[in-house]
Chain A
Amino acid sequence: MGIVDLDGLEVRLGGRTVLAGITGELQGHAIGLLGPNGAGKSTLINTLLGFHEPFKGTARVFGFDVRRERSRIRQQIGYMPENDSFIGNMSGVKFVRYMAELAGLPQEVALERAHEALFYVGLGEVRYRKISTYSLGMKQLIKLAQALAHGPRLLILDEPTNGLDPMARQRMIQVIKEIRKEGSIRLLISSHLLRDIDETCDEVLILKGGRIAALSNIEQERNSHRNFIELETVGATEQFTARIRALGCECAAYPGGRIKLVMPDKIAARDLYVIASELGVQIRRMNQRRDSLEDIFLRAMDSEIGRPEHVSV
C-alpha cells in the first residue's frame, strides 16, 4: 500500500473531465507533483482532501477512501494551500492554535504546539502580530506552521514557494528539507518550479491533460543514465577509441577529438584516464551527463498520453 493509491480516478468539474481515470501508487517520502497549468494538480489535491467527489474510480490516502473516510484522511493531512488563506484579524499564534484544535488537539496542547510550530518555521518573534501585517514570505510560513502543528502524517504543499523572493524561497526549501529529513511526515509538493521539486523530492508525478505523463523515482531516473559520458580529447583519438571499445564501452568518435560513450557499470572514469595516459592522449574535458528533472519533465511532456494502465515506483 502506498501513501496515495489512485485507482482509475476520474474527476469531472462542470461537466469537464479534469482527471481522466488515473491509476498509480505514490510511495516516495517526498513526492513532487508537476504539470503545466490545467494538468489537474490542484484538482488531484482537492480530491485527496475530499473537496471534489470522484466521478469514477477512487483514491486512497494511507488506505482511507476519499469518498467514505474523508474525516479520517483530513485528520492525517496538513494542507498548505497555494493562495493566501488565513484569518488576517488573528495573531499568528491564535490562528495556528485554532487550526490545531480543529485538527483534534486538546486546547493546551494546541497552544503549546502552535508556539513550537511558529518557532520551527521561523516566525517565533512575530507570533503575536496580526497575520494581516505579515509579509508575503511570512504568510507562506504561517500556512506551513498551521499545516505542521497537529503533527500530520502527510503534508500537502501547494506551490510553497509561490511569490517568494530568493531568500524567502531558500528558507522555505530549507524548512521542507528539514521536515523530510526528520522522517515522520510524508510530503506531497505541487509546484510549477522544477528546481523546487528537484531540491526537495525523491519521487515525481507528472500530470498532463488530466493523465499521468510520468511517475518516477527521481534518483533512479538520474542514475539510469549515469554512465553516459562526453569527452573532448587531443592526440591519438582513434587508438583511444579502440581501446575503450575493447573495455566494453559503446562509443562514437566525432571530429575534433570528441567522443561520446556509455560505460558499463564495471568500468570507472579512472580507467579512461589510465588508457589516455598510456596512449599519451590528453583528456581536456569529461562531461558525465545525468538526467535532470527537466529532462524527465520534457520527456514526459513530449510523450503521448504516456504511461501504461498502472504505474508505481
Chain B
Amino acid sequence: MSVYKHDYRAYTGEVTPLWTRVNVLARYAFSEAWSSKITVTLFTLSLAPIIVFLILIYVANNPIARALITRGNPQAFAIDAKFFLKVIEMQSWCALVVTAWIAPRLISFDLSDNALPILLSHPISRVGYISGKFIALFSSLSAITWFPCLLLFAYQGYSSAEHWTAANLPIAFGLLVGSLIWIAFLSLLGLALSSWVKWRVVATGVIFAAVFVPAGVGGIVTAIMRTKWGFLLNLPFIMSLLWQRLLGAPEFMRSGQSIPTTAIVIMLGLACLLCIAMLNARIRAREVVRG
C-alpha cells in the first residue's frame, strides 16, 4: 500500500506485545480527555488551592511573616494533620468536579457512535478496554490529588525543622492512601455512570447526583430511624471520616455516633463492585452488533 500508488501491500513488520494495547487505549483516552479547553481550565483551577496552601506553609515556616499575620496566636498556622486534612478534602472535591467532566468524554464518544464492536474486535478484552480508560482517568486525577498533596508535604518537610518529616510520615501515608482510594472509586463511578448515560452533559449531572443524592437519603434515614448507619450512604461524610483516620487528625464525630472503618471500607468496596458490574453489563451489551 502506498499513498501515491494506491496499491495494497500486506504488513510484514513487527507487532507490539499484547499487554501494550492497554497503553494505546489509555493514551488515546488521555488525549481525548485533555483535548478540551474546559478540562485544562478545570485542571488549572483545581491547582489554585494548592498555591494557597503552599503560601500558608511558607508563612507558617517564616517567623517574620508568621509574627506579622498571626499576632501572637501560634495555633493559627499550625501545619499538622488537620491542615493536610483540609488539603486532601479540597483536592478530592476538585477531583470530583474534574471526574464529572472527563469521565463522560472517555466513554460516551465510544458508545454514542457504537465504536465498541470495532474496538473490541481487536486483540483487546473488555477488561483491557476498561483498564485503558481507567488508567487515563486515574492518572489525570492523580495530578490534582495525591501528587500535589505529597509535594506540599515535601515542601513542609523541607521548610520545617529536621525532625518534622520523620514525626509526620503517617500524614504522607494517609495523603497517598486516602487519595488513591478516592480517585480509584471516582474513576470507577465516573466510567460506570457514563457508560449508562448517552448524553455527556446528563452524565456529568448524574455523577454529581450519585454522590450527593444518597447523602441526602442517608441523612433522612439517620434522622427518621435514629441510627448512625444511614451515614454510610453519605459519601462525603464517610470519606472525611476515613481521611481523618488515615491522617491521624482529631475526629469531629462523638465516639458513639462514629462509623467503624471496616464498615466504611466494606461500603466503598460494595460501591466499587456495583460500578464494575454496571460497566461489565453495559460493555458486554454493546460489544457486538445485534442483527
Contact = CB atoms under 8 A, between A and B. Distances in A.
Nearest to B21: A102
Interface string A271-298: 0000000000000000000000000000
Contacts, number: 127
Contacts of B115: 85-87
Residue from B13, B21, B291 whose CB has the most chain A CB atoms within 10 Å: B291
A104 B3 contact: no
B16 interface: yes
| Contact residues of B: prevailing secondary structure | loop
A257 interface: no
B291 A102 contact: no
Contacts of A113: 1, 11
B18 interface: yes
Interface string A47-84: 00101100000000000000000111011010101111
Contacts of A87: 109-110, 113, 115
Given A74-B121, A81-B117, A102 B2 contact: no
User: For chain B, which range describes its interface: under 10, 10 to 19, 20 to 34, or 35 or more residues?
Assistant: 35 or more
Nearest to B32: A89
Given A52-B288, A87-B113, A104-B16, A148 B123 contact: no
Contacts of B118: 79, 81, 85-86, 99, 143, 146
B14 interface: yes
B252 interface: no
B112 interface: yes
A114 to B, nearest CB: 10
Interface string B98-136: 000000000001101111111111111100000000000
Given A74-B122, A103-B123, A179-B8, A116 B291 contact: no
A239 interface: no
B1 A46 contact: no
A52 to B, nearest CB: 7
A150 B112 CA distance: 25
A104 B8 contact: no
A88 B123 contact: no
A179 B7 CA distance: 9
Interface residues of A, number: 51
A71 B1 contact: no
Interface stretch (A2-10, A117-125, A210-218, A222-230): A117-125
B25 A102 contact: yes
Contacts of A71: 18, 123, 125
B6 interface: yes
A101 interface: yes
Given A51-B287, A84-B113, A85-B114, A103 B13 contact: no
A28 interface: no
A85 B119 CA distance: 9
A260 to B, nearest CB: 42
A265 interface: no
A134 to B, nearest CB: 11
Interface string B194-228: 00000000000000000000000000000000000
A99 B122 contact: yes
A82 B289 contact: yes
A83 B114 contact: yes
A181 to B, nearest CB: 9
A51 B119 contact: no
A36 interface: no
B73 interface: no
Contacts of A143: 118
Given A42-B291, A87-B110, A115 B3 contact: yes
B24 A102 contact: yes
B166 interface: no
Interface in A108-151: 109, 113, 115-117, 119-120, 124, 131-132, 143, 146, 148, 150-151
A185 interface: yes
B14 A88 contact: no
Contact of A178 (B2, B8, B120): B8
Given A84-B113, A98-B28, A105 B11 contact: yes
A285 to B, nearest CB: 44
Interface in A162-211: 178-179, 182, 184-185
Nearest to A159: B291
A101 to B, nearest CB: 5
A151 B12 CA distance: 8
Interface in B1-36: 1-3, 6-16, 18, 21, 24-25, 28, 32
Contacts of A184: 8, 10
Contacts of B288: 42, 46, 51-52
A25 interface: no
A151 B11 contact: yes
Given A81-B117, A88-B112, A146-B118, A105 B291 contact: no
Nearest to A80: B118
A102 B119 CA distance: 8
Nearest to A98: B28
15 contacts: A42-B289, A52-B288, A72-B123, A77-B121, A79-B121, A84-B114, A85-B115, A86-B113, A98-B28, A102-B119, A103-B123, A104-B21, A119-B1, A143-B118, A151-B9
- Top 5 A-B pairs, shortest CB-CB distance: A151-B11, A104-B15, A116-B1, A79-B121, A184-B10
Given A116-B2, A150-B11, 7 more contacts: A52-B288, A81-B121, A104-B16, A105-B15, A151-B9, A184-B8, A184-B10
